């Protein structure tokens, strides 16, 4: 009797599964029949097209389940299909599985065990690529650079990886090591690195180099009181940290500022709007527009504005997202001159939708950022160089680095970020920074001449 009962229960499961598929096909059949009875020239409705496509998916899934040589895992197959759909959209939309949801829900200001890199899937190569290493982290010390392609993590090929796949392998306990195979930008042969994980703390407001007491030196020209601030990321405390530094510099007589956003991959929108608001008194900061989402706008407030000094913003091909919002805002309001290279063009908004009662989630691009001028920031998959996307430097202020120059700059920058770094005999000639310095000094020159009259 127990055996028979168990058999009946097993058969019920199969019957329920078959019934579910049968009912779906009945619905599709009814919709299809209605269409066939209609006039041949009548266009199919969206609903009819939807059922036809669902029929394709269900039919394929059923045939795989029944006929594939090995037994399959249904969840793995469905999740693979979901990831495949999202991969067709853009590099920033992805599926967060049950295994990843807890890690995903951690806020950016928490400490975690890792090596300290920001990664993305390059839309041109579809390979996992380093957006930027975080200064002061194990990856940075090991020589990982922006633009590096990560070919393998712990012996696993990253071909077809999404960002969440990489994060799962890169994060771990402090002291544990992770093996990477990396191809430096514009080099032929990959290298193997073994990097020890550490607790990662996102310090985002940095200076030109360390002082002897391990504090940051924010003066580029102490005599002329021209300050230099490098923002590496837009984390939860960035605006607070920046305000603290700016208050100190103003008290010490700051007369000009260079804000370096080169290789800054972005971060929190709230921080981008707060930081932009520090430098303009009124007007639009940024807006977002989507196909099925209402327009949202962020406007500046007059309180607490830092003004009365010339300002330059440095950007490059790896400046993205929140970096582009700040650069575009200050450029459109004529508050700063933008110098360097055209930015990355990551001007999209991702919203997170709960799936399976919050046990998994869908991170989906739902809108695009638009600068105060109304122009688009986001670079679509098929965008041309002549299209409006990213942030272009001001006229006559475009200075492109070759791949060799970019590598030399990143290496020079990495060495300066080491506490106690010795100044090199033949330092890198940072023509982008030199141009920014030249601009600020030119704006200060009339003031200096007026003071000497």
pLDDT of 452: 55
Residue 201 annotated among the catalytic residues of the structure: no
pLDDT of 418: 66
Least confident of 69-78, 120-129, 145-154, 427-436: 120-129
Least confident of 64-73, 118-127, 420-429: 420-429
pLDDT of 420: 62
Helix, strand, or coil (residue 294): coil
User: What are the pLDDT digits (tens) for 85-102?
Assistant: 999 998 899 999 998 887
Residue 238 annotated among the catalytic residues of the structure: no
Question: For residues 410 and 140, what is the distance between their CA atoms, to the nearest angstrom?
Answer: 10
pLDDT of residue 156 exceeding 50, the answer is yes
Q: How far is CA 394 from CA 26, 144, 262, 404, in A?
A: 61, 30, 15, 24
pLDDT of 111: 53
**pTM for the whole thing?**
0.70
pLDDT of 448: 62
Contact (CB, 8 A) for 304 and 396: no
User: What are the pLDDT digits (tens) for 374-396?
Assistant: 999 999 888 999 999 999 999 99
pLDDT of 449: 59
Active-site residue, selected from the candidate residues 198, 332, 417, 430? 332
Least confident of 53-67, 174-188, 379-393, 415-429: 415-429
Side-chain half-sphere CA neighbours of 152 within 13 A:
12
Contact (CB, 8 A) for 331 and 391: yes
Active-site residue, selected from the candidate residues 97, 319, 321, 368? 321
pLDDT of residue 2 exceeding 50, the answer is no
Q: Calculate mean pLDDT across residues 302-310.
A: 96
Q: Which of 353, 347, 354 is nearest to 289 (CA)?
A: 347
Active-site residue, selected from the candidate residues 198, 238, 239, 346? 346
Least confident of 88-102, 270-284, 412-426: 412-426
Give the orientation angle of helix 46-67 with respect to helix 74-87, to 10 degrees.
140
Say how many residues make up the chain: 453
Contact (CB, 8 A) for 428 and 409: yes
Q: Calculate mean pLDDT across residues 423-441.
A: 91
Residue 287 annotated among the catalytic residues of the structure: no
> What values do phi and psi take at 284, rounded to 5?
-70, 135
Least confident of 40-44, 72-76, 285-289, 344-348: 40-44
Residue 6: which pLDDT band, with cuts at 50, 70 and 90? very low
**Domains of the chain by range and CATH?**
47-84 (no CATH), 110-200 (2.30.42.10), 205-443 (3.90.226.10)
Q: How far is CA 371 from CA 220, 249, 261, 376, 378, in A?
A: 30, 29, 17, 7, 10
User: What are the pLDDT digits (tens) for 344-367?
Assistant: 999 998 888 999 999 999 999 999
Q: Calculate mean pLDDT across residues 133-151.
A: 88
The percentage of the chain sitting over the pLDDT mark of 70, rounded to a whole number, equals 85
pLDDT of residue 272 exceeding 90, the answer is yes
pLDDT of 5: 38
pLDDT of 35: 47
Could you tell me where the DSSP H helices lie in 283-376? 322-332
Q: Calculate mean pLDDT across residues 21-42.
A: 49
Least confident of 47-56, 105-114, 273-282, 313-322: 105-114
pLDDT of residue 167 exceeding 50, the answer is yes
Helix/strand number for the chain, H first, E second = 11, 21
Q: What is the average pLDDT value for the chain, to the nearest integer?
A: 86
């Amino acid at each position: 009797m127990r055996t028979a009962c168990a058999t009946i229960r097993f058969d019920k499961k199969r019957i329920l599964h078959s019934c579910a598929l049968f009912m779906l096909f009945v619905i599709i059949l009814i919709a299809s029949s209605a269409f066939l009875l209609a006039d041949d020239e009548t266009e199919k409705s969206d609903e009819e097209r939807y059922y036809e496509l669902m029929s394709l998916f269900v039919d394929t899934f059923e045939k795989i389940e029944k006929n594939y040589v090995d037994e399959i895992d249904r969840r793995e197959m469905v999740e693979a299909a979901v990831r495949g759909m999202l991969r067709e959209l853009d590099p920033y939309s992805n599926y967060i599985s049950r295994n990843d949801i807890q890690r995903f829900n951690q806020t950016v200001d928490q400490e975690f065990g890792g090596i300290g890199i920001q990664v993305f899937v390059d839309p041109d190569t579809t390979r996992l690529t380093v957006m930027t290493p975080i200064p002061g982290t194990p990856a940075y010390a090991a020589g990982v650079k922006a633009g590096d392609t990560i070919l393998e993590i712990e012996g696993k090929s990253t071909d077809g990886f999404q960002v969440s796949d990489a994060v799962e392998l890169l994060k771990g306990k402090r002291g544990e090591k992770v093996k990477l195979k990396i191809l430096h930008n514009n080099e032929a042969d990959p290298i193997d690195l073994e990097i020890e994980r550490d607790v990662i703390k996102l310090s985002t407001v940095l200076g030109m180099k360390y002082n002897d007491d391990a504090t940051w030196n924010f003066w580029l020209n102490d005599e002329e009181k021209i300050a230099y601030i490098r923002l590496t990321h837009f984390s939860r405390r960035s605006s607070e940290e920046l305000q603290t530094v700016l208050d100190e510099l103003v008290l010490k007589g700051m007369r000009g500022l260079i804000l370096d956003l080169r290789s800054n991959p972005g971060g929190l929108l709230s921080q981008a709007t707060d930081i932009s608001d520090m430098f303009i008194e009124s007007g639009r900061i940024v807006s977002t527009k989507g196909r099925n989402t209402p327009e949202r706008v962020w406007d500046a407030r007059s309180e607490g504005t830092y003004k009365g000094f010339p300002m330059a913003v440095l950007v490059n091909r790896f400046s993205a997202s929140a970096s582009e919002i700040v650069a575009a805002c200050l450029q459109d309001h004529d508050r700063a001159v933008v110098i360097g290279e055209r930015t990355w063009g990551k001007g999209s908004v991702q919203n997170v939708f709960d799936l399976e009662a919050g046990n998994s989630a869908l991170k989906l691009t739902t809108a695009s950022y638009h600068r105060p001028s109304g122009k688009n920031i986001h670079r679509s998959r098929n965008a041309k160089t002549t299209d409006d996307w990213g942030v272009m430097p001001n006229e006559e202020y475009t200075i492109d680095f070759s791949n060799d120059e970019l590598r030399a700059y990143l290496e020079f920058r990495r060495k300066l970020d080491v506490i106690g770094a010795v100044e090199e005999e033949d330092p890198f000639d940072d023509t982008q920074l030199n141009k920014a310095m030249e601009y600020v000094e030119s704006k200060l020159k009339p003031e200096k001449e007026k003071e000497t009259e």
